[in-house]
A = this chain, B = another copy of it.
Amino acid sequence: MALIVQKYGGSSVSDAASIQRVARRIAQTRLAGNDVVVVVSAMGDTTDELIDLAAQLTSAPPTREMDILLTAGERISMSLLAMAIDALGVKARSYTGQQAGLITDAEYGRAKIIDVVPGRIQKALDKGMVAIVAGFQGVNTETNDVTTLGRGGSDTTAVAFAAALGADVCEIYTDVDGIFTADPRIVPTARQVARITYNEMLEMAASGAKVLALRCVEYGRRYGVPIHVRSSFSGRVGTLVTDELGTGIPGLLPQDAQAANEAKNGDDMEAPIISGVAHDRTEAKITVVGLPDVPGTAARLFEIVAISGANIDMIVQNVSAQQTGLTDISFTLPAADAPAAIEALTKARADIGFDELLFDDQIGKLSLVGAGMKSSPGISAKLFGALRDAGINIEMITTSEIRISVVTRAEELDSAVRAVHSAFGLDSDGQAVVYGGTGR
């Protein structure tokens, strides 16, 4: 049969009952003859509770200690999950990131994976055991210290083990049924996408879609790991992220395969032009007013912003006013990075020579993503038309080969998403289901 890596987020293992539900799914997968590796996040709110405890003690916890603290969460969930599987008569062993062989650099809190040496995991599989791996954590072998991977760490752990073990599929179990054409909380008629390419998924994730972390998709694309995003609550077939759009979904249980076949009847297998509409409310806009329009100014400006640690997203430069020789540059960046960027720019004001800085954190970003876009003319016209018909003003525009993003007022973002979703015919008849909070 297949080698399947399954990842369960915190909301899927929030209490004893949900751990038992997950254990049953894992046992089923094993008993169907598959080799199974499970990556698990900390239970429910454990991580937040630990962060809160640390915050009661200090406003600047040493990052090494913070990483040791947080990894306790997965240690609890992984051992409990192993016990629950064992109680079903299926052998299971749990392994910390260190024991499982996930080697990282020494950047506490946002460590990067250097290598995966899954010797103990392979041995456990060879003995017919289910191997449970703590998500989100690894070891730096130079210091022999525990590290955490930061945002999206557990998803990335799962894809990394899937790549290292040559798994047939990496199943990411979460609290939604898969990838949707838009956030179902904003667009109740959003449709689940059956398949999506890595590149489209990357654009969706980079544009604010939260189901899969950018980093995890990048890892999957680099190593060609098929990622199957699905719900641990409904058990339904979810969304396959892959480059081979024609193939079936690997690792389906018999009951899954039947459901997938039934679903196919209403789903034509040709790749759609548009995958979905993503949105992002976490960015802010900085406008630098009255910049001298001479070569090198923009370079100097963005150098300073980069040193402040901010990640620039969109940039728009106005046409220079001929009388003054001055121009304005607007750019967007994560709102959390804005204070540092503003401080750095203010300090460099004399050096760069601008008049003033304008700051605006009431913006929203809408992105239309689709691999078919590059071969279909008229997509932007249709997008701008839909926004115009909805009375929504566009403040900035950027495009990639498979994405068009626009900035709107924050309070108009929801209606913008609904208008565009509808204009591109993405609405379904039914209503999507959302099950709970989001895990780590």
- Does any Cβ of B come within 8 Å of A144's Cβ? yes
Q: Identify which of B56, B64, B68, B94 contacts A68 (C-beta below 8 A).
A: B94
- How many copies of this chain does one complex carry? 2
A45 to chain B, nearest CB (A): 14
State which of A83-91, A172-180, A195-203, A210-218 sits at the interface with chain B. Answer: A83-91
Give every chain B residue within 8 A of A120 (Cβ-Cβ). Answer: 144
Given A16-B56, A54-B83, the answer on whether A93 and B64 have CB atoms closer than 8 Å is yes
Give every chain B residue within 8 A of A61 (Cβ-Cβ). Answer: 83, 86
Q: Could you tell me if B80 and A20 are in contact, using CB atoms closer than 8 angstroms?
A: no
- Does any Cβ of B come within 8 Å of A289's Cβ? no
Q: Could you tell me if B80 and A75 are in contact, using CB atoms closer than 8 angstroms?
A: no
Q: Could you tell me if A50 and B76 are in contact, using CB atoms closer than 8 angstroms?
A: yes
A19, A64, A69 interface centre (most CB from chain B within 10 Å):
A69
Q: Mark A131-145, 1 if CB is under 8 A from B, else 0.
A: 000000000000011
Q: Could you tell me if A53 and B16 are in contact, using CB atoms closer than 8 angstroms?
A: yes
- Does any Cβ of B come within 8 Å of A239's Cβ? no
A19, A57, A69, A73 interface centre (most CB from chain B within 10 Å):
A57
Q: Could you tell me if A72 and B69 are in contact, using CB atoms closer than 8 angstroms?
A: no
A384 to chain B, nearest CB (A): 52
**In the complex, which range does the number of interface residues on chain A fall in?**
35 or more
Give every chain B residue within 8 A of A20 (Cβ-Cβ). Answer: 57
- Does any Cβ of B come within 8 Å of A66's Cβ? yes
Q: Could you tell me if A54 and B69 are in contact, using CB atoms closer than 8 angstroms?
A: no
Give every chain B residue within 8 A of A87 (Cβ-Cβ). Answer: 57-58, 60
Q: Mark A394-413, 1 if CB is under 8 A from B, else 0.
A: 00000000000000000000
Q: Identify which of B53, B58, B68, B94 contacts A65 (C-beta below 8 A).
A: B94
- Does any Cβ of B come within 8 Å of A308's Cβ? no
A69 to chain B, nearest CB (A): 4
- Does any Cβ of B come within 8 Å of A327's Cβ? no
Given A64-B93, A93-B64, the answer on whether A57 and B75 have CB atoms closer than 8 Å is no
Give every chain B residue within 8 A of A50 (Cβ-Cβ). Answer: 76
Q: Could you tell me if B57 and A16 are in contact, using CB atoms closer than 8 angstroms?
A: yes
A42 (CB) vs chain B CBs: closest residue: B72
- Does any Cβ of B come within 8 Å of A71's Cβ? yes
Q: Could you tell me if A66 and B84 are in contact, using CB atoms closer than 8 angstroms?
A: no
A59 (CB) vs chain B CBs: closest residue: B87
Q: Mark A116-150, 1 if CB is under 8 A from B, else 0.
A: 00001000000000000000000000001100000
Report the Cα distance A65→B78, complex, angstroms.
9
Q: Could you tell me if A19 and B76 are in contact, using CB atoms closer than 8 angstroms?
A: no
Give every chain B residue within 8 A of A60 (Cβ-Cβ). Answer: 87
Binding site for B on A (CB under 8 A): 16, 19-20, 50, 53-54, 56-58, 60-62, 64-66, 68-69, 71-73, 75-76, 78-80, 82-84, 86-87, 93-94, 96, 99, 120, 144-145
11 pairs across A/B with beta carbons < 8 Å?
A16-B57, A19-B57, A54-B79, A62-B82, A62-B86, A65-B80, A65-B83, A66-B83, A71-B75, A72-B75, A72-B79
